[in-house]
Amino acid sequence: MRIKGEIYSSEELHLDGEVEGRLELESRLTIGPGGKADADIKAPEVVVAGNVHGNVEATHRLVLRSGANLVGDVKTSGIVIEDGAYFKGGIDITRPEPTREAAKSAGR
């Protein structure tokens, strides 16, 4: 399957086809070994085992599995790069957003 355009979802998505455009999720995005994204990506957690060409903003964590190929800039609070993964671009490590409970207890 090949999709051109913008994808917005509140559900988890597993991509094994091709996407060109923009992906924005409220849950985990997994790009399988056969998946290819020529897109900017924004999601809380992104797991890449395939190919990504574009910028990635993973608010919680980005995981590059062995065999993954990522070309683009990354903004995340946590990153895992396994042996055998390829990454070319810049990394902006951000502080994780505090949860509501942690914010309440810090304000006391």
pTM for the complete prediction? 0.87
* Structural domain count of the chain: 1
Range of the domain at 88: 2-106
Q: Are 46 and 58 in contact (CB under 8 A)?
A: yes
How far is it, in rounded angstroms, from Cα 52 to Cα 19?
10
The pLDDT profile of the chain, 108 residues, written as one tens digit per residue, is 899 999 999 999 999 999 999 999 999 999 999 999 999 999 999 999 999 999 999 999 999 999 999 999 999 999 999 999 999 999 999 987 666 555 555 555
Predicted confidence at residue 80, as pLDDT, reads 96
The predicted pLDDT at position 1 comes to 84
Beta strands in the chain, from DSSP E residues, in sequence order: 2-9, 13-15, 18-25, 29-31, 36-48, 51-53, 56-64, 69-71, 74-76, 79-81, 86-88, 91-93
